[in-house]
């Protein structure tokens, strides 16, 4: 069975929205190596509508020698949206038909590499709380962002996690990977 993963840039105060506003001076080679490792295991990406629209307007025009552009543009992408319609403009992008949780569960059962949920804060939450997300990596930058959307909110259901891996980078980022505790 394939693994479904998500990785989010994160401030110390829990902000995951618009990380480009707070990560610019702490992104380092160690963090880049971790992202390259992720890229090498993923062959399918799942995006929510908001992330899809933001990324589809940027990445197809990014320089192709950029490692992430070379990864994200040709990869198979599935988009969860109730408002977009086919055909999607960005290469190898397809709308998820039907229930997103069932779609991702079915996708996990097919042959292939890892499935990454990229950006898409609401979708990460949905798949985590449904027990479909296998790993959540938070790349915590040494900054208090002050405002912005946070991954977790008051009233979220209780979910216990297991710390699978953790390391600090040369510029003080802490990369923590969690899985759902199964009991």
Question: Which band of pLDDT confidence, cut at 50, 70 and 90, is reported for residue 57?
Answer: very high
* Residue whose entry in the numeric block shows the structure tokens 């449904």: 130
CB 5 within 8 A of CB 135: yes
Task: Look at residue 24 in the predicted model and tell me its pLDDT.
Answer: 85
Question: Which band of pLDDT confidence, cut at 50, 70 and 90, is reported for residue 60?
Answer: very high
Closest CA to 132 of 99, 154, 166: 99
With respect to CATH, is domain 4-180 assigned 3.40.430.10? yes
* Residue whose entry in the numeric block shows the structure tokens 């192709």: 64
* Sequence spans of domains, the chain: 4-180
pLDDT average, residue stretch 164-180 = 96
pLDDT value at 150 more than 90: yes
Task: Look at residue 65 in the predicted model and tell me its pLDDT.
Answer: 62
CB 47 within 8 A of CB 100: no
The model carries a pTM of 0.93
141 phi and psi angles, rounded to 5 deg: -90, 150
Mean pLDDT score across all residues of the chain = 94
Task: Look at residue 64 in the predicted model and tell me its pLDDT.
Answer: 61
Of all residues in the chain, the percent with pLDDT exceeding 70 is: 99
Cα separation, 47 vs 57, whole angstroms? 14
pLDDT value at 63 more than 80: no
Q: Tens digits of per-residue pLDDT, 103-135?
A: 999 999 999 999 999 989 999 999 999 999 999
pLDDT value at 92 more than 90: yes
């Amino acid at each position: 069975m394939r693994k479904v993963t998500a990785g989010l840039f994160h401030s110390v105060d829990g902000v995951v929205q618009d990380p480009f506003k707070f990560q610019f001076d702490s992104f380092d080679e160690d963090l880049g190596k971790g992202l390259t490792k992720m890229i090498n295991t993923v062959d399918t990406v799942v995006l929510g509508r908001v992330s899809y629209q933001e990324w589809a307007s940027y990445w197809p025009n990014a320089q192709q020698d950029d490692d992430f552009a070379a990864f994200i543009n040709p990869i198979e992408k599935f988009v969860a949206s109730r408002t977009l319609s086919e055909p999607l403009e960005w290469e190898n992008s397809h709308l998820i038909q039907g229930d997103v949780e069932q779609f991702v569960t079915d996708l996990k059962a097919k042959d292939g590499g890892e499935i990454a949920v990229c950006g898409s804060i609401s979708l990460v939450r949905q798949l985590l709380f449904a027990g479909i997300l296998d790993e959540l990596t938070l790349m915590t930058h040494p900054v208090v962002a002050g405002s912005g959307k946070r991954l977790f909110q008051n009233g979220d259901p209780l979910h216990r996690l297991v710390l699978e891996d953790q390391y600090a980078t040369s510029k003080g980022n802490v990369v923590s990977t969690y899985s759902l505790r199964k009991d």
